[in-house]
């Protein structure tokens, strides 16, 4: 796989050695068990896969290239390049301004743009209408387009099934940048509808089965479907694609639900006339990180720490998985760990910032699961390790621990 020129301050000597060790030990990526860092009084279970993915490193490389090649020009990102506050803050401090926030709300008017300005397209892509608007202003967005190749693969699949007259069901968060971008392309080729989870899939299933009315559909899926969507004609043939950062197992569960529903409704011999096989839209990094998190669940750890942006979809799903077994703390950086007794963290389901006292167990040996989202620098994980080690005395040295990896 291609390597990218990512600034060294996003790297970590510790994490690089761990990843290289695991790569040599398990080149086919068949072992999802974590790496144990045994410092004596505290042990870390480091996830097999975590941190910057291909798409994120590609986006960072292109963004820094834009900075190097356009001294003196005004540089803009359409919205957050990735969902990581440290990376976005770093780009802003280097002179890049944001045109929109993560929800698509305008921060700087497009009217201020000139053909001399540079606009970087984020890793999530951009809706077609916005690309056309920027083009009309004489801005060449293709020069610094950081759209993830795996997002583009989903777009190609939506085009393919749309042209085959399947309605496109998008598993995603309807206000997420990537989902908005994917919807704009899906809508160009056929009717499309966005569902958030299995519950909404089953709700849509009621319309396929004729249990609910068009009027109810307009309410249940308000702002989540193509114009002039007709439940009587547009739900006869469907295919499922995903926002690449969703929980892979849930996307598969949703696809299986619609396949079984169509099979029961029309017979197994007619399934291909009513359901498109789209399993290849799942992102490799999302799959790897989530599968590695299942490996973490097999440990006897006491707590879990997940590091990443609080608006990061892929990170939130790692939190969701860890919470199935551990007391889990979702933090944006080591700065959220105030001391041995206090941690600030994020309650993702309720979108609330919390402070928890006595978060670190007082045990002879404390075992901690540690992972991060695909948009989180390895340096952030290293910072967390050092911060927690500072709370303990008589720990083994980093060099000694790394020499004894197994």
Same domain, 12 and 130: no
pLDDT, position 1: 59
Q: Is 299 helix (H, G, I), strand (E, B) or coil?
A: coil
Q: Is 2 inside a domain boundary?
A: no
Whether 113 and 131 map to the same domain: the answer is yes
Question: Domain residues for 65?
Answer: 54-144
Predicted confidence at residue 84, as pLDDT, reads 85
Residues paired with 303 in a beta bridge: 327, 368
Residue 287: the pLDDT is 84
> In sequence order, what DSSP letters do the residues of 76-119 get, joined into one string?
EESS-SSS-HHHHHHHHHTTEEESB-TTS-BSS-GGG--TTSEE
Q: What is the DSSP letter of 323?
A: T
- pLDDT for position 181: 95
Q: Whole-angstrom Cα distance, residue 389 to residue 404?
A: 18
pLDDT per residue as tens digits for the range 232-259: 999 999 999 988 888 888 898 999 999 9
Residue-wise pLDDT for 140-151, tens only, equals 999 999 999 999
Same-domain pairing of 277 and 326: no
Domain closes at, from 257, 282, 307:
282
CB atoms within 10 A of CB 3: 8
Taking the chain, what is the end-to-end CA distance rounded to the nearest angstrom? Answer: 25
Residue 286 has a pLDDT of 82
d(Cα 144, Cα 401) in Å, to the nearest integer?
42
Q: C-alpha angle 133/102/68, rounded to 5°?
A: 70
Burial class of residue 362 (count of CB atoms within 10 Å of its CB; 0-12, 13-18, 19+)? exposed
Same domain, 126 and 79: yes
270/358 same-domain check: no
State the Cα–Cα distance between residues 306 and 304, nearest whole angstrom: 7
State how many domains the chain has.
Answer: 3
* Residue 119's CATH number: 3.40.50.11270
Residues of the chain with pLDDT under 50: none
Clarify whether residues 370 and 313 are in a common domain. Answer: yes
Spatial distance between the Cα atoms of 403 and 232, rounded to a whole number of angstroms: 64
Q: How far apart are CA 99 and CA 130, in angstroms?
A: 11
What pLDDT does 280 receive?
64
Say yes or no: 273 and 168 in one domain: yes
User: Is 3 part of a structural domain of the chain?
Assistant: no
Q: Are residues 239 and 227 in the same domain?
A: yes
pTM greater than 0.85? yes
Q: Are residues 168 and 277 in the same domain?
A: yes
Residues sharing a CB contact under 8 Å with residue 311, sequence separation 6 or more, in sequence order: 80, 83, 102
Helices (H) and strands (E) in the chain, counts: 14, 14
Two structure tokens written together for 92: 């802003």
Asked, for residue 1, whether it belongs to a domain, the answer is no
Please state whether beta strands 75-77 and 96-98 pair in parallel, antiparallel, or not at all (unpaired): parallel
Looking at the DSSP bridge assignments, the partners of residue 354 are: 345
Q: Quick check: helix, strand or coil at residue 139?
A: coil
Q: Which segments of 297-330 does DSSP mark as H helices, in order?
A: 313-322
Which residues have a catalytic role annotated? 178
According to the model, what pLDDT value does residue 390 have? 97
């Amino acid at each position: 796989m291609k390597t990218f020129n990512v600034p060294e301050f996003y790297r970590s000597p510790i994490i690089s050695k761990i990843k290289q060790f695991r790569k040599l030990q398990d080149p086919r990526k068949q072992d999802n068990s974590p790496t144990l860092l045994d410092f004596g009084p505290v042990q870390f279970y480091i996830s097999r896969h975590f941190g910057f993915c291909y798409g994120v490193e590609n986006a960072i490389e292109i963004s820094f290239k834009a900075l190097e090649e356009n001294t003196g020009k005004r540089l803009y990102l359409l919205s957050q390049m990735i969902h990581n506050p440290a990376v976005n803050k770093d780009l802003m401090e280097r002179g890049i301004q944001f045109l929109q926030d993560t929800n698509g709300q305008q921060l700087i008017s497009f009217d201020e743009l000139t053909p001399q300005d540079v606009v970087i397209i984020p890793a999530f892509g951009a809706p077609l209408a916005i690309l056309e608007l920027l083009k009309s202003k004489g801005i060449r967005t293709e020069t610094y387009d950081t759209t993830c190749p795996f997002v583009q693969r989903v777009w190609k699949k939506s085009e393919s099934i749309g042209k085959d007259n399947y309605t496109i069901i998008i598993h995603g968060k309807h206000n997420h940048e990537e989902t908005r971008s994917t919807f704009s392309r899906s809508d160009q080729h056929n009717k499309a509808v966005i569902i958030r989870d299995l519950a909404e899939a089953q709700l849509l299933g009621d319309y396929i089965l004729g249990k609910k009315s068009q009027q109810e559909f307009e309410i249940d899926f308000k702002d989540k479907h193509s114009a002039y969507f007709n439940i009587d004609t547009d739900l006869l043939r469907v295919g499922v694609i995903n926002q690449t950062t969703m929980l892979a197992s849930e996307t598969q569960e949703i696809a299986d639900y619609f396949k079984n529903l169509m099979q029961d409704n029309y017979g197994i011999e007619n399934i291909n006339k009513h359901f498109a096989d789209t399993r290849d839209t799942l992102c490799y990094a999302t799959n790897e990180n989530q599968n590695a998190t299942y490996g973490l669940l097999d440990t006897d750890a006491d707590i879990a720490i997940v590091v990443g942006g609080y608006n990061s979809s892929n990170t939130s799903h790692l939190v969701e998985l860890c919470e199935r077994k551990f007391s889990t703390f979702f933090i944006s950086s080591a700065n959220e760990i105030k001391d041995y007794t206090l941690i600030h963290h994020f309650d993702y389901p309720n979108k609330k910032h919390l402070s928890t006292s006595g978060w670190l167990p007082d045990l002879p040996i404390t075992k901690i699961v540690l992972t991060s989202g695909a948009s989180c620098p390895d340096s952030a994980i290293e910072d967390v390790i050092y911060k927690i080690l500072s709370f303990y005395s008589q720990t083994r040295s980093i060099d000694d621990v790394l020499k004894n990896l197994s």
